[in-house]
């Protein structure tokens, strides 16, 4: 593997970690103890996909 390929892989991995963290941090605010669920999981995913750039695997790991 060339150095450029390795650098691109590292950048891609870092971006995936950052997307997952954004999704996790956002969902934590919605999962407060005793609070009613604001939407279904699919509705939350649709919003997160559009606004946070997460994909299904990022969202499901939260």
Give the span between the Cα atoms of 19 and 58, in whole angstroms.
Answer: 7
Q: What is the domain extent for residue 36? A: 3-60
Give the span between the Cα atoms of 29 and 23, in whole angstroms.
Answer: 10
Question: Tell me, what's the pLDDT at 36?
Answer: 82
Number of domains in the chain: 1
Predicted TM-score (pTM) of the model is 0.66
Per-residue pLDDT of the chain (62 residues; tens, 9 = 90+): 788 888 899 999 998 888 888 888 888 888 777 778 888 889 988 998 899 888 888 777 66
Answer whether 23's CB lies under 8 Å from 52's CB. yes
């Amino acid at each position: 593997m060339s150095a450029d390929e390795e650098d691109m892989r590292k950048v891609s991995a870092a971006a995936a970690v950052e997307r997952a963290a954004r999704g996790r941090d956002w969902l934590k605010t919605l999962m407060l103890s005793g609070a009613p669920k604001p939407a279904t999981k699919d509705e939350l995913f649709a919003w997160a996909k559009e606004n946070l750039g997460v994909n299904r695997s990022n969202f499901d790991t939260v």
